[in-house]
Chains A and B, each alone.
Chain A
Amino acid sequence: MSRYGMFLVALLVKLGAPADSSLALNSLSAFPEDLEISDYCVDLLRVFGQRYVAYVNCLVSSARPVKVCHNCFSSYGSIVEIYANISSDQVGPGNVSCRDSLLRSDRLMLVYLLQSNLKGIWSESDCQNCVNKGLHSLTNDTLYFMTALNQSLSCFQKYQQANQSELCNECKNTYKSLNDLYSGMEKNNTLCIDIEDAMNVTRRLWSKNFNCSFPREETVPVIAVSSFMLFLPIIFYLSSFLHSEQKKRKLIHPKRAKSNTSLMNIQDKFS
C-alpha cells in the first residue's frame, strides 16, 4: 500500500473509527483498485500462513532432543516452494505480480521477515548437510550415522543392568567406531545439529553416566620422573657453587691527580 493508503487508515483510526480491521479493510475496498490486493495473492498469503504454522509446530515439537532436520525437512520444503511462488517475477492470472504487493509495500515487510527467520534457523542448524538438495530425503551419510548410533545405544541398553566395567569393555568398539565416524564427518563438514546433539548426548552417557573414560592411573611414575627432573637443576647449581671458582674481579686503580685539598675518600668528606 502506498503512503496515501497508510495515511487514510491512520485518519480513520483517529476519527474514532472502530478498531475492527475487517471493517477498515472492507471500507478500503470501496477505494480505487490500485489499493486492493488481488484475490490470487490473498490466496497465496493464506497458504503461506498455513504452511508456516505447520512448520513451526513441527520445529517446537522436535526441540529437545533436537531433531529438527530429520522431522521437519518436508515442511520446510513446502514453505520454500510457496515463498518462491510469492516472490517470483512471473505475472499470475489477472496480470498482477504478488511480489510487490505482498512483500514490499510497507515498512514492516512482515512476510519477508518471517521467511528470513525460517531461513536463518535452517542455516544455523546446518540442515543442508543432512538433507538432499531437493529437500526430499536425508543423505546417505546421515542414515549411516543413525544406524551406527542405534547400534551403540542398543549396546548400552543391553549391558545397562550389568557391571559398569563390563559395559565399558563390551561397548568400547562400537562407541569407538561411532566416535571415529563422527570425527570424520566433522572434518568433512557434513554435520547438522541433529547429529551433533545426538553425539553429545551419547558422549555424556559414556563419560559421565557410565564413567568409561580413561582414569588417571599413572600418578606414581609421573611424579617420580618429575621429581627427578626437578632435582637436576638443584644438583647443577650446588655443584657449580661448590666446584667452580668464583669469578673475581681485579680492581684497577688508574692514575689520578692529587687534588688541591688532601686526598680523602668521598665518604670522609661528609663525616
Chain B
Amino acid sequence: MANITKKVSWSSRHDEPGATGEGTPLLNGSEQPRYSRQLSGGGIFQIGRLSTVDLDEEVASDQDHLRSRPKEIPHNEKLLSLKFESLDYDNSENQLFLEEERRMSYIGFRCLEISRWVVCGLIGFLTGLIACFIDIVVEQLAGMKYQVVKQNIEKFTEVGGLSISLILWAVLNSAFVMVGSIIVACFEEGPMIHSGAVVAAGVSQGRSTSLKRDFKIFEYFRRDTEKRDFVSAGAAAGVSAAFGAPVGGVLFSLEEGASFWNQMLTWRIFFASMISTFTLNFFLSIYNDKPGDLSSPGLINFGRFESDSVEYNLYEIPLFIAMGAIGGLLGALFNVLNYWLTIFRIRYIHRPCLQVMEAMLVAAVTATVSFAMIYFSNDCQPLGPDHSEEYPLQLFCADGEYNSMATAFFNTPERSVRSLFHNQPGTYNPLTLGMFTLTYFFLACWTYGLAVSAGVFIPSLLIGAAWGRLFGILLASITSSGSIWADPGKYALIGAAAQLGGIVRMTLSLTVIMVEATGNVTYGLPIMLVLMTAKIVGDYFVEGLYDIHIKLQSVPFLHWEPPATSHWLTAREVMSSPVTCFNRIEKVGTIVDVLSYTSTNHNGFPVVMHHAASDEPAKLCGLILRSQLIVLLKHKVFVELARSRLTQRKLQLKDFRDAYPRFPPIQSIHVSQDERECMMDLTEFMNPTPYTVPQETSLPRVFKLFRALGLRHLVVVDDANRVVGLVTRKDLARYHLGKHGLEELQLAQT
C-alpha cells in the first residue's frame, strides 16, 4: 500500500471510476468533505477546511490502481450489501430522556408494563385473524380451481379434447400465481411468520404510516428496543397460528428470530402465541358451523395420531436414524440445486417483469407436469365409503374407481400430508407415490426463490411424507406377512421430519413444532433423533436453505459467536477510519452538507470537543444520530434562535419519537442560506456516554460487546479518549470462518 496523503475521490458518482486530480471547489460556501487514507498515527480529516489535491507524493502501485477503479464482479455469496441498516438498541440517554424519566410517575411505569401485555395480546389476536382469513380464502380459491378443472376434465374425457383441459389448468394456475407474484415483485409480502412480524411492528407503534393515521397510543414504544421485542412476539404468533404450536412458536422465535431474550419477554411471547392459536381455532370453528368446537388449532393440521397406533419399538430407532440420514442427503441436494438456481436468478432475472413471467411459467409447467402424470397413470383405486377425497377424478378408470394420482395432485399440500399420515395401509400404490415424490421434489426446488410468497415448510413435509411412506411400504413388503409394526403412516411422519430437517436444519424449535402438531409426545424422541441426524449429515455437505439465502442476499448477518480464530484481529483493523465528527457547537451548513453527502450514508457521528486546527483527533464527548439531527434541523433548533423561542415550547423526546421509524430524508429539509450560518448546540441531544473500546481490543471482544448490547455504532478511541475510528455492523460482519480459515467478505453496492 502506498502512502498517499490526500486524494480526491468522487465515488458519489457510480458510473465514473474514481477520478483523481479534480480539485475544483464546489459551489460557494459549501465544502465537500474529502477523505484521505490515514497515515499511521496521522490525523483525521477536518471538516470545514478546503484541502488541495496533492498528488506529488503519490506512489501508485498496481494494487492501488485497481483499487482506484471500483471493481465490478458478478454476484456471488461472498458479498455484503450496503443497503441493510442496523437497528439501534442502545438507548440515547440524553438530557431529554432523563427529563422524561423524572417526570414519569410510578403509575406511569406500571401502565407501561400493562400496555406491553395489551400489545402482545393484540398481536396474537390479529395474527390469528389473518391466519383464519388466509385459510378460508385459500380453501375457497383452491376448491374453486379444482372444481373447475375437474368438471372440465370430466366433460372432455367423454367427448375428447383433453389437451384443452390441460391448457385450462395451466392458465388458471398462471393467473393465480401472476396476482401473487405481482404483489411480491412490485411490493413486499411474505408468508405467515413474516405476516406475524409485520403485524407486530405495525401494531406496537400505534399508527399506520401507509394509511397516514396516527392513533396516538403506544408512543413510548416507538423505539427500536421496544419494537424488536414485539416483532419477536409477532413471529412466534405467526408460527403458532400456522402450526397450532404455541410452544414451538416461542422456541422458533428464540432460536431463529430474536437476538435478545429475557424472562418477562418469554412470558409475553408465550401469551401472544396462545392468544393467536386460540383466536384461529375459535374463528375457524365458527366458520365451520361448529362454534366452540376448537378442533383446528393451526392452519396446518396433521391430524390426531391415535395412541394405540403410535407405538414404535426399540428396534425401529436405527431405521429412523437411517431415514434421518437419507433426509439429510436429499436436503443437501435440494439446497445445492436451489443455490445454483438462485444465483442464476439474481444475476440474470432481476427486472420485475421478468420475475413475474418466470413465476407464471413455473405455474404453467407445474400444471402441465401434474396433468401429464395424471393422464398416463394407470393406478385406479376404489373410492372408500367414507368419501375422504373431495375431488375424485375418474378419468380412464372403471366406474366406481378413481385415479389415485389425481387425488395426490388435486389436494392442497396440507391435505395430502394429512392423508399420507393417516390413510390405511394399501391406499397408495408404490409406483404412483415414487413418481409423485420425484416430480414434486424438482418442482419444489424450482419454485422456492421465485418472486412469490411461498415457503418451503409444507412442500418439504410433503416430499418427506411421500418417500417416508414409500419406505414404510417397502419395509412391510420385505418383512414377513402379519407384522403390522411397519405402519406406513408412522414412517411418513418420520420421513417428513427428516426431509424438513435436512432442508432447513432447524433443531429444537422444529422438534417441538412437530410434536405439538401431531399432538403426541410419544414421537418426541424419534423426531429429535431424526432431526439431529439430518442436520449432521446435511451440514457436512452444505448449509441450511435459509442460511444460503441470507448469504446470497448479502445480508450483514452477525452470528451468535465471533469467528473462531480471530483473536489476532484488533479493533484497529476492523474499524472504519477516519470518522466524520461534529463539534459540540457546529455550524448548520456543515451538518447539512455532511448529511447530504450521498456516497457515504453515515448514521452516527461522534461529537468531539472543539478540535484545534491541526489534523489531530479530538476528544470524544458524545454520539449523535442522523435521525436526531434531522429532527433538530426540521424544528430549527439553532443557538441564535433560542432567545426568540423562549415562548415556544422546548423540544421533547416526543418530537423525536413522532418521526420514527421513517425519518424524512435530508433532501426534504429546506435550509436557507442565512440559516446555514447559524450554529447548533448538540450538547442536550447527543448521547453523552457512548460505548467505546480501546484500539487494541480483539475482534471477539468487540463482537461480543456489539452483539450483546445491540449497538449500531461503537467508537474506537485511543489512550487519551480521542476518536480514532468507528465500528459498525458491516465492519464486523465481514469476517467469518470459511472452508480455508478466516475469510473476509467484501462490501458491494446492491
Contacts and interface: CB of A to CB of B under 8 A. Distances in A.
Using C-beta atoms within 8 Å of the partner chain, give the interface range for chain A.
Answer: 35 or more
Contact of A251 (B72, B158, B347, B570): B72
Contact of A222 (B361, B375, B578, B744): B375
A257 B575 contact: yes
Interface stretch (B74-82, B223-231, B537-545): B74-82
Interface in B27-69: 35, 37-40, 67
Interface stretch (A89-97, A115-123, A224-232): A224-232
B577 A256 contact: yes
Interface in B347-362: 347-351, 354, 357-358, 361-362
A183 to B, nearest CB: 10
A203 to B, nearest CB: 4
Given A233-B362, A240-B348, A248 B82 contact: no
Contact of A247 (B350, B396, B725, B747): B350
Given A226-B371, A257-B572, A259-B570, A247 B38 contact: no
Contact of B364 (A217, A232, A247): A232
Contacts of A221: 162-163
B708 interface: no
Using C-beta atoms within 8 Å of the partner chain, give the interface range for chain B.
Answer: 35 or more
Q: For chain B, what secondary structure do more than half of its interface residues adopt (helix, strand, loop), or is it mixed?
A: mixed
A218 B354 contact: no
A247 B347 contact: yes
A31 interface: no
Contacts of A217: 160
Interface stretch (A8-16, A100-108, A128-136, A206-214): A206-214
A43 B369 CA distance: 72
A243 to B, nearest CB: 9
B396 A215 contact: yes
A252 B747 contact: yes
A96 to B, nearest CB: 45
B98 interface: no
Contact of B365 (A203, A233, A256): A233
Interface string B143-182: 0000000000000011011110011001000000000000
Contacts of A233: 358, 361-362, 365
A269 to B, nearest CB: 8
A26 interface: no
Given A248-B74, A255-B38, A236 B163 contact: no
Interface in B719-750: 724-725, 730-731, 741-744, 746-750
Given A225-B163, A240-B354, A247-B350, A213 B368 contact: no
A91 B750 CA distance: 96
A257 B724 CA distance: 9
A237 B170 CA distance: 19
A249 B348 contact: no
B112 interface: no
Contacts of B73: 248-249, 251
A256 B573 contact: yes
B399 A270 contact: no
B372 interface: yes
A19 interface: no
A215 B348 CA distance: 46
A217 B365 CA distance: 23
A159 B329 CA distance: 60
B669 interface: no
B259 interface: no
A157 to B, nearest CB: 19
Nearest to A206: B399
B261 to A, nearest CB: 32
A266 interface: yes
Interface string A230-267: 10110011001100101111111111111110110010
Given A229-B364, A255-B577, A218 B162 contact: yes
14 contacts: A207-B399, A221-B162, A230-B368, A230-B369, A240-B354, A244-B354, A248-B73, A249-B75, A249-B748, A253-B747, A254-B747, A256-B573, A257-B575, A260-B40
A-B interface, 5 closest residue pairs, ranked by CB to CB distance from nearest: A207-B398, A249-B748, A229-B368, A257-B577, A203-B399
Interface of A: 179, 199-200, 203-204, 206-208, 213-218, 221-226, 229-230, 232-233, 236-237, 240-241, 244, 246-260, 262-263, 266, 269-270
